[in-house]
């Protein structure tokens, strides 16, 4: 029970339609399995409710909550609900992110509207969630924030502008967050997932390109150095669990790749 007694918020606890399990849902379940009381937050309340029901099967406490990361007031309400219900906030996990689903394109095709949409979801939402969580953590003089970036921040051939830019900015923001809150005992780290077999990553691309899921999955598998197989949401969830737990008590400001060797290959 590595998170016993801790209160966590997982933003993006639902998932996109498709096969398998997404990063936010898997992380919520892992946190509950390890003893945390979790507020499972998503724009789609039905998806958050489904995640909460799955997490509750492990015997822990998980409560769904509706919030939209593009609306700051709902993020403030999210933090207020966790504090009202449990009296503290130990972990904030920001899992929200879109790419082609938000209209992202290569530079020559990118619209202003799509860039603003992806930026608001991928970056501004995380920043605003942290804005409202930090006062509670400072008052406790403890807390752990785990943000999700991507290997796309460093990948030398990644074509989509807004996703790459926002995920690179997430690393810089997390480093700033870590440094400015270290004296309060607050840690901030981010995870850089590589090619993952999740509904958002695979099924969304299959629909957008009018190809089968199997074809898209095989193409992605072939690009992974480690075993020639994509990672799963559980790989991201386990990394988030480590960074959120006391096992990472002396780790802050880190960008942790969970990528099957992708960045080694790029280097």
Which sequence positions are flagged as catalytic?
163
* Burial category of 143 from C-beta neighbours within 10 Å (exposed 0-12, middle 13-18, buried 19 and up): buried
Q: Which residues is 59 bridged to in the sheet?
A: none
**Tokens 């509750």, located at residue:** 56
Cα 225 to Cα 100: distance, rounded to the nearest angstrom: 24
Q: Which residues is 192 bridged to in the sheet?
A: 257
* Burial category of 264 from C-beta neighbours within 10 Å (exposed 0-12, middle 13-18, buried 19 and up): exposed
Cα 262 to Cα 40: distance, rounded to the nearest angstrom: 30
Is residue 82 a contact partner of residue 89, using CB atoms and an 8 Å limit? yes
**Computed from CA positions of residues 226, 232, 236, 239, in that sequence, does the dihedral angle turn out positive or negative?**
negative
Taking residue 248's Cβ as centre, other Cβ atoms within 10 Å add up to: 18
- Phi-psi category of 192—alpha, beta or left, where left has phi over 0 and alpha has psi -120 to 50? beta
């Amino acid at each position: 029970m590595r998170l016993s007694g801790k209160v966590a918020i997982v933003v993006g606890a639902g998932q996109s339609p498709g096969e398998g399990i997404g990063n936010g849902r898997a992380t919520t379940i892992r946190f509950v399995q390890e003893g945390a009381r979790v507020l499972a937050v998503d724009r789609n309340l039905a998806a958050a409710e489904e995640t909460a029901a799955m997490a509750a099967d492990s015997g822990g406490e998980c409560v769904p909550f509706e919030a939209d990361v593009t609306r700051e007031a709902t993020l403030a309400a999210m933090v207020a609900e966790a504090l009202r219900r449990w009296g503290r906030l130990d972990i904030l996990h920001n899992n929200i992110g879109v790419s082609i689903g938000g209209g992202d394109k290569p530079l020559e095709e990118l619209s202003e509207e799509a860039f603003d949409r992806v930026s608001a979801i991928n970056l501004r939402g995380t920043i605003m969630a942290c804005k409202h969580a930090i006062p509670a953590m400072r008052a406790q003089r403890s807390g752990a924030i785990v943000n999700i970036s991507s290997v796309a921040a460093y990948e030398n051939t990644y074509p989509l502008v807004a996703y790459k830019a926002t995920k690179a900015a997430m690393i810089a923001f997390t480093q700033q967050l870590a440094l400015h809150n270290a004296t309060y005992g607050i840690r901030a780290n981010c995870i850089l997932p590589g090619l993952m077999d999740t509904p958002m990553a695979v099924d969304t691309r299959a629909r957008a390109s009018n190809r089968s899921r199997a074809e898209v999955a095989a193409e992605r598998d072939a690009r992974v150095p480690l075993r020639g197989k994509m990672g799963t949401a559980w790989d991201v969830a386990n990394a988030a669990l480590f960074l959120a737990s006391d096992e990472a008590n002396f780790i802050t400001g880190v960008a942790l790749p969970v990528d099957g060797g992708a960045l080694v290959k790029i280097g």
